[in-house]
Amino acid sequence: MFSDSGNVVAPLIASALLTVAGAAAQAETLGGRPPSLLEYASAEAQLYNRVLAISTYDGSRRVPSLQCNESFAFWSCREEFTADDVNDPGNRDEKELAGVGTISARRDASDFPLTDFGQAESVARASTRFGQLRAEAYAGGSYTWEETRVLSSEVPGTRTITGASTAFAFATSRATEVLTPTADGSITLQFSLTQHPATFFVGGPGGLPNQPLEGFGGGVLDVQVFNLDSPFLYFRQEQEVEGFELVGSASEFRETPGATFFDLTLNLVGGQRYSIVSQLFVEAQFDAAIDFFGTASLDRILIEPGQALSFASGTEYATSVVPVPAALPMLLGGLGLLGVVARRRMGALTAA
């Protein structure tokens, strides 16, 4: 995973969390740490993409010279070469884009010249639209190996070194939408997250005993909704952090092909503005192909009768009105009648 500072951190942890709006959500966040997407809550609709591809190499490379024109098989014609710092700009391809568009990053065999072996390669791609987040990450050909060579044509002794090449890919697709309801009531956001089967592989060091590194990866869709008209105070390391009240959140993780569907129900106040921040983050490490391109989406919004929604982006989301069940008014009426009867009985007992 990578943060906005670009540093590689620990792998994703699978999670599935759904927090419903209201007093419970406020109680959970009061005095607690700021929600992870708070800094992206905004009164303006925004789109953002970021991709990062990393490859490292630790082995040997050729040293061109007059004495080595015919063969680079000897250690006298090679040097040890280390490029294993994942934060070194020379080992990374990183891009970001605000707004509509698609960006990609790639690291391949041409990035480490004069090396003879099939080094690890990585690709990351992201594209964001309102209502649809797209991200995919591929890493392949991560290996360790032992490299044994004769010292020189004159010196028959040998020397062995351990080589390694690794790949990492990360992609983020994020959208911030602003929603304003015309009336009080609840709405339900219906999301889907689908992971497609995918393959990506590049060969390991040719002609050498080698050990492939086991790959892993996955994708997580986080959704957090903030009331922009309700300032809220959080705390981080005993420091106050000003923000907005979190009224609902959901998080879904996948690491195998398949689909996940989930709902987020919110109780909204008419006329107030709500920032919906949704983020798809995908990672692949060593040897993994993770494809969530075009499959994290807000499929439909369920609203109550007489309710209407406006969106800052102008996007026309699929919306359905959920009618009040016909039996509900009768049930409420019956409960009211029981209350009247109970009060009359209580009054009669008091008079007696």
Distance CA 183, CA 325 (A): 20
**Does the residue 280 lie in any domain?**
yes
**Are the C-beta atoms of residues 252 and 260 closer than 8 Å to each other?**
yes
| Per-residue model confidence as pLDDT tens digits over 19-73 | 333 333 333 445 588 999 999 999 999 999 999 999 999 999 888 776 676 667 8
Confidence (pLDDT) at 116: 78
- pTM of the complete model: 0.80
**Does the residue 223 lie in any domain?**
yes
Distance CA 248, CA 264 (A): 7
Full residue range of the structural domain in which residue 114 is found: 16-321
**Does the residue 93 lie in any domain?**
yes
Confidence (pLDDT) at 199: 79
**CA 219 to each of CA 29, 105, 214: distance values in angstroms, whole numbers, following the listed order:** 25, 18, 18
| Per-residue model confidence as pLDDT tens digits over 322-338 | 876 654 455 455 555 55
The Cβ of residue 296 has, within 10 Å, a number of other Cβ atoms equal to 31
**Does the residue 338 lie in any domain?**
no
Distance CA 108, CA 123 (A): 9
Q: Is the sign of the CA dihedral 38, 39, 44, 47 positive or negative?
A: negative
326-335: burial string, b at 16+ Cβ within 10 Å, e else: eeeeeeeeee
Distance CA 45, CA 35 (A): 19
Query: C-alpha angle 20/246/18, rounded to 5°?
Result: 30
**In 3D, which of 297, 277, 281 has the Cα closest to residue 39?**
277
**Does the residue 158 lie in any domain?**
yes
**In 3D, which of 259, 109, 239, 248 has the Cα closest to residue 197?**
259
Distance CA 214, CA 199 (A): 14
**Does the residue 198 lie in any domain?**
yes
Q: Which residues pair with 253 in a beta bridge?
A: 220
| Per-residue model confidence as pLDDT tens digits over 95-114 | 999 999 999 999 987 888 88
Residues contacting residue 42 through CB under 8 Å, at least 6 positions apart: 176, 178, 275
Residue 115 tokens read as 């090396």
The total of structural domains in the chain comes to: 1
**Does the residue 178 lie in any domain?**
yes
Average pLDDT over residues 71-78: 83
**Does the residue 343 lie in any domain?**
no
13 or 276, which is more confident: 276
Pairing, β 288-303 against β 319-321: parallel
Distance CA 162, CA 58 (A): 8
**In 3D, which of 95, 83, 82 has the Cα closest to residue 50?**
95
| Per-residue model confidence as pLDDT tens digits over 130-171 | 999 999 999 998 989 888 888 888 888 999 999 999 999 999
The Cβ of residue 181 has, within 10 Å, a number of other Cβ atoms equal to 22
